[in-house]
Every structure is written in C-alpha cells, then in structure tokens.
Amino acid sequence: MAKFIVPKEITHGLGSLEEVKKLSGKKAVIVIGGSSVKKNGVLDRTEKYLSEAGIESAVYSGVEADPSIETVINGAEFLTEQQPDIIIGLGGCSAIDAAKAMWVYYEYPDSKLEEISKPFAVKKMRSKAIFVAIPSTSGTGTEITGLSVITDKNRGTKYPIVSHELTPDVAIIDGELCASMPAHVTANTGLDALSHGVEAYVSNIADRYNDALAKDSVKIIFDNLKTAYSQPENKEVRQAMHDASCMAGMAFTNVWLGIVHAMSHQLGGTFGIPHGCANAILMPNVIRFNSKVTNKYQDLAKLIGKNSSEDFAVEVENLRASVGVVSSIKEYGIDEKIWEEKIDTLTQNALNDPCTLFNPRKPEFEEIKALYMACYRGVASNI
Ligand SMILES: NC(=O)c1ccc[n+]([C@@H]2O[C@H](COP(=O)([O-])OP(=O)(O)OC[C@H]3O[C@@H](n4cnc5c(N)ncnc54)[C@H](O)[C@@H]3O)[C@@H](O)[C@H]2O)c1
Ligand SMILES: [Zn+2]
C-alpha cells in the first residue's frame, strides 16, 4: 500500500499568478527573499490580486539563500504579530521553505528545530493559516513537497523538516515568474530538479505513479534546460522547466530522495555550495554507485536516446557542462586542507541524513567518503 499526496490545488501555466485573486481569507502574509520579486513586479501584482480578492496583506522580506533558524524565528514573530489566515511563500525555494518553517512555529510557538526535524514529527497544521506556494525558481519543487530545508549555520548542516503536513494547500506554477532568473540560478535549480526526478525514480520505495512523473520530468529537463539557460525570455521553455520541476517534486515528495541529497545537504550547510550545483557534481558518481544494484538508470538513458547507466551518468556530466556548472568540489573552490579536515564529519552527517534511508543501495561510511573524494577531484568513481 502507498499513498500519493500533493497539494489540493495546483494551477499551472503562463499567467497563472492571477489565481491569487481566487484565494479566500482575511489577511495574507507574503514571505519573500531578496529583491527579485520586487524588481520584476511579481510582488506588486500579488498584492494587487490579494486586494482585489478583499484580502489584506503584509510582507516579510529578506529571507537569505539557505534560510537559517534565526530567520525562521524572526519571521514567526512577524506572523504572530500579523495573525494571517493565509501564508504565501513567494520566490525561490529559500523564501518558500523559510515560510513553511515559520508557519510551523506560528502554529506551534514552542517548536524546536531538533524536534520538528525528526521525520514526520510536525503535528497537525492549519488551525491558524493555510499555505500557498508560488515559486520563482524551477528546481526544488517545494510548492509540492512536504519538506522545508533549514540551515543551522553554527553546526554547518541542513535540517530537512519532513512531513506531509507541510504540503502546501495551493501551488501556483507560473513560468513567467522565472524569466528574470540569472543564468547560473537557472542552471543550478534546473539540475536540482533533474536530481529529484532521478533520485525519485530509483528510490527504494518507488512506485509506478511516481515513476511516470519522475521519468517525464527527466525527459523534459534534458529537452529544455539548455534553452532556458541560453534564452531566458523564452516563456514556453520556462513553463516547461517549471512544470518539470513540479512533476519531479510530486514524485519525490511521495517516494523521497537518496544519497545525492544526503551528501549535498552537507556541502550546502558547510561550504555554501548552491544546492543544485552540489547535486550536479555528486549525481554522476552516485549513479555509478547505485547502478551496481539497480537497472533503472538504463530506462532513463533510453529516454534520451542512450543505453546504459554509464551513458546516463555521462549525459548528466555533459548537461552540467553545457550550462556552465563546475565538475568538482575542488573546482568550485573548496581548499584541499579544509576539505580533508571536514570530510569525516560530512560523511557521518550524510549517513545520518534521512534521505539516505531511501537510497537504492545502502552505503557504508567508507563508501560515502570515497564518493565524496572522487567528487572532490572530479573523477569517475568505481565503488
Ligand atoms: N523544500 C524542498 O522540497 C527542497 C528541495 C530541495 C532543496 N531545497 C532547498 O532549497 C534551497 C535552494 O532554493 P532555490 O534553488 O530555489 O534557490 P534560492 O531560493 O536560494 O534562490 C537563489 C537565488 O536566486 C534568486 N532568485 C530566485 N528567483 C528569482 C527570479 N525569478 N529572478 C531573479 N532572481 C531570483 C534568489 O533571490 C536567490 O538569490 C536550498 O536551501 C535547498 O536546500 C528544498
Ligand atoms: Zn534538491
């Protein structure tokens, strides 16, 4: 038996931001990151649509990339002051994830990150507010997922808060919002979406519902990412990438992810390597590692006109290079001495990350460490 859980309402298509007009409630707090949604007019439009719907609004701004627990607690205080019955996460996943975690603290003010980040520990939500997610990056799928990733900057690790209670009530997937994404953000987030499709497809609890979504997302990303990167204003391609990210999100929120994410959470938390970039560095060697126990990568290779798992790993490397993403942790700029000092902690934290539970091959400490070392140097591993 398996469940398939996604938001009750998913509106997708160019111009679908207007769906905000159909929300009902008294007061919305819109949580945003930096200035991009102000510059591109999306925040103004969202406020205008809310006002047309007779909903008052307030804005919490300044969520940083890889949001910290301090930001979450700050934002939760703002929510408590404002008492919204709708919380809107608008922008990149960092803004939306922070908004999700603020929502937990708003509903349960005594929450502790160590407690709520235990798998499925978040209690019943929605006694105070519903959650609307409007992404402006095509990557994480947070508009669909029961997941929020919060960074503990002191410990240098990311805490995934995992609970279907965090699945948004409404998701609006409007590719127009992504036209302003800088090329490197398009590349990193698109490769993140690819890693979701790939990891969901080989998850040890994969099923045919999620396989269909995961496979199609992989195909759409191979067909569109390069164009989204080189033609940022091409709205049809932006929508295709936005849809693929959402579809990959639907798959992985139900069957979860694997060690690409378990390992990349540490690279993000410790060195600040952008999430999608870290995934793209790790993915080819994880494909090689997992392909010793699963043939499923061959299906993905066939989708793009290739045959073997190794072909698929190489095609991921080629796609990564074609959108200007580095091929190793060293090339990203992490100093070798610092790397050597951190490697054991990174490895242990990756083993403890909940995503490791769903990897098709159960890894040992030395195997994760060897994978990290190969990805540090940018060489193909054979573990
Ligand atoms: N919740 C989930 O399901 C999930 C899944 C995977 C990863 N994550 C987490 O998501 C975070 C990364 O999120 P992200 O990849 O969306 O990046 P992000 O939200 O950190 O945004 C990256 C940068 O792009 C800018 N930006 C976003 N949209 C823009 C636009 N349309 N135009 C111009 N600039 C724009 C942001 O202001 C920011 O500077 C990480 O913390 C990662 O761990 C969450
Ligand atoms: Zn991811």
The tens digit of pLDDT for each residue in 178-193 reads: 999 999 999 999 999 9
Say what the pLDDT of residue 164 is. Answer: 93
In one-letter notation, the amino acid at residue 300 is L
* Separation of CA 295 and ligand 1 centre (Å): 32
* Separation of CA 40 and ligand 2 centre (Å): 25
Residue nearest to atom 9 of ligand 1 (CA): 149
Give ligand 1 pocket residues (Cβ under 6 A).
33-34, 36, 65-66, 91-95, 97, 136-137, 139-142, 145, 147-149, 158, 177-178, 180-181, 185, 189, 192, 268, 275-276
* Average pLDDT of the chain, as a whole number: 96
CATH code of the domain made up of 9-177: 3.40.50.1970
* Separation of CA 217 and ligand 1 centre (Å): 19
The tens digit of pLDDT for each residue in 314-331 reads: 999 999 999 999 999 999
Say what the pLDDT of residue 354 is. Answer: 87
- For a pocket test of ligand 1, which of 173, 185, 353 has the largest count of ligand atoms closer than 8 A to its C-beta? 185
Residue nearest to atom 29 of ligand 1 (CA): 181
Residue 25: φ, ψ to 5° = 165, -175
Say what the pLDDT of residue 248 is. Answer: 98
Closest CA to 59 of 80, 90, 85: 90
In one-letter notation, the amino acid at residue 9 is E
Q: 119: how many CB neighbours lie within 10 A of its CB?
A: 12
The tens digit of pLDDT for each residue in 278-337 reads: 999 999 999 999 999 999 999 999 999 999 999 999 999 999 999 999 999 999 999 999
Q: How far apart are CA 121 and CA 206, in angstroms?
A: 23
Write out the two tokens for 286.
């994880």
Say what the pLDDT of residue 75 is. Answer: 98
Say what the pLDDT of residue 157 is. Answer: 76
Question: Coil, strand, or helix at residue 292?
Answer: coil
Residue nearest to atom 4 of ligand 1 (CA): 140
Domain boundaries, the chain: 9-177, 183-247+256-377
Q: Which atom of ligand 1 is nearest to the CA of 35?
A: 37
CATH class of 183-247+256-377: mainly alpha
Q: How far apart are CA 354 and CA 333, in angstroms?
A: 28
Closest CA to 296 of 218, 241, 356: 218
pTM assigned to the model: 0.96
The tens digit of pLDDT for each residue in 114-160 reads: 899 888 899 999 999 999 999 999 999 999 999 999 988 888 777 88
* Separation of CA 92 and ligand 1 centre (Å): 4
Helices (H), the chain: 36-39, 42-52, 69-82, 93-107, 113-116, 183-202, 208-230, 235-255, 259-271, 275-290, 296-303, 309-322, 329-332, 336-352, 365-377
Task: Give, in degrees to the nearest 5, the angle at Cα 316 between 278 and 344.
Answer: 35
* Separation of CA 137 and ligand 1 centre (Å): 6
- The pLDDT-based confidence of 263 (bands split at 50, 70, 90) is very high
Q: How far apart are CA 30 and CA 191, in angstroms?
A: 27
